[in-house]
Amino acid sequence: MPDTHTLGFMMDRIRALLTVIEEGSVNRAAVRLRISQPALSRQMQALENELGGKLLERETSGVKPTALGHALVRSMRPLVADYKAAVAELRRQARGERSELRVGYLISAAQSVLTPALARLRESHPEVKLKLHDLSPREQIDGLRAGELDVALIGQEGAVAASEFYSARLGSLGVCVAVAEGGELATRPKIALKDLKGCDFIGIDEEQMPGRNQWMSALCKTAGFKPRFSVVVDGITNVLSLVASENAVTLLPAYFQEFKHPGVTFVPVPDARAKWDFTVLWQRGKVPASTRALVQELKEAAARFA
């Protein structure tokens, strides 16, 4: 005997019992529930059998809950309410009426384009409630996969996940190379990719920045060589520290030129093909209007920015 009966069926019976107790009468509850009185009567008997105790005191003038019946009401009424609310929310969501929009981004990378886009979204869709999550690229992808994010703003790493989600390229930044402050390279105003041939490269952990090392390799390949990754570490800060201490190099999106790191200089890379794509990813399937709106604003903001 599968206990499949003991779940959904009981739920119906419980819901029925709630109205029976509200009405104080099987008869009146039956009309409200649009079923016949005998049917409802039997439902109550079934529920009492399932639970193993009387729930209603049958009297000549109607029914009255027993102590057990009261206990059931107390524990179940909020559950039923929550359940109905949850179903309603899911229905809205299925129709693409999400009012909450969960956005993942990396503050250092996304700020310049995200901030104006959000400002305009607030004007055009003031009803949308935003939840912003400052996350690493890897966390953003995981968040999308787990359904915890609706939109992710991500760099080159997005390429590895683009097939799982809808995506749009927002724009391209230039590339710079991080070199040790003391070295010869640090004095140049710019460094072509081919000049990096033979340098030690610092890689970054694939877990945190998926696709980043491949991106570097691909860039170097356009310059005709294969980079040698002497070390792979986790965390961009550690990468930069190693650049300084090991007198090595690494490739980064151009916005790093705005930052500072002790012992490290960022030098632009002029190669035309050295580009850092900036991507927005969002959930596949029925796309909520709010998501669509944000993506649109992002595209426009990126276009203005370029």
Stretch that binds a copy of itself, among 49-57, 180-188, 232-240, 271-279 (CB under 8 A): 49-57
The torsion angle over the Cα atoms of residues 260, 261, 263 and 269, rounded to 10 degrees, is -60
Report how far residue 6's alpha carbon sits from residue 43's, in angstroms, rounded to the nearest whole number: 13
Under the criterion CB under 8 A, does residue 68 sit at the interface with a copy of itself? Answer: yes
Site residues (CB under 7 A) for DNA? Answer: 4-5, 9, 12, 25-28, 34-39, 41-46, 56, 58, 60-63
Q: Which does 237 bind (CB under 5 to 8 A by kind): DNA, a copy of itself, none?
A: none
Using the rule CB under 8 A, is 9 a contact of a copy of itself?
yes
Question: 267-276 burial string, b = 16+ CB within 10 Å, else e?
Answer: bbbebeebbb
Measured distance CA(217)–CA(201) in Å, rounded: 10
* DSSP notation for 191-228: --GGGGTTPEEEEE-TTTSTTHHHHHHHHHHHTT---E
By CB under 8 A, what part of segment 265-304 binds a copy of itself? 283-286
Q: Whose Cβ is closer to DNA: residue 70's or residue 273's?
A: 70
In the bound state with DNA, the residue whose beta carbon lies nearer, of 34 and 262, is 34
Q: Minimum distance from CB of 180 to a copy of itself (Å)?
A: 45
Q: Binding to a copy of itself (CB under 8 A): which residues in 79-108?
A: 79, 82-84, 86-87, 89-91, 93-95
CA dist 8 and 21 (Å) reads 20
Instruction: Please give the Cα distance from 280 to 154 (Å, whole number).
Output: 6
Residue whose structure tokens are 């966390």? 139
The CA distance from 252 to 213, in Å, is 11
Q: Give the shortest CB-10-to-a copy of itself separation in angstroms.
A: 7
Binding status of residue 250 toward a copy of itself by CB under 8 A: no
What end-to-end distance do the CA atoms of the chain give, in Å?
67
67 is an interface residue for a copy of itself by CB under 8 A: yes
Which partner from the list a copy of itself, DNA, none does 25 bind, CB cut-off 5 to 8 Å by kind?
A: DNA
Q: Compute how many residues bind a copy of itself; rule: CB under 8 A.
A: 49
Extract the tokens encoding 194.
């081919």
Shortest distance (Å) from residue 29 CB to DNA: 8
Least distance in angstroms from the C-beta of 125 to a copy of itself: 19
Within 8 A by CB and 6+ apart from 168, the residues are 279, 280, 295, 298, 299
Interacting residues with a copy of itself (CB under 8 A): 2, 4, 6-13, 15, 33-35, 51-54, 65-72, 74-76, 79, 82-84, 86-87, 89-91, 93-95, 146-148, 150, 283-286
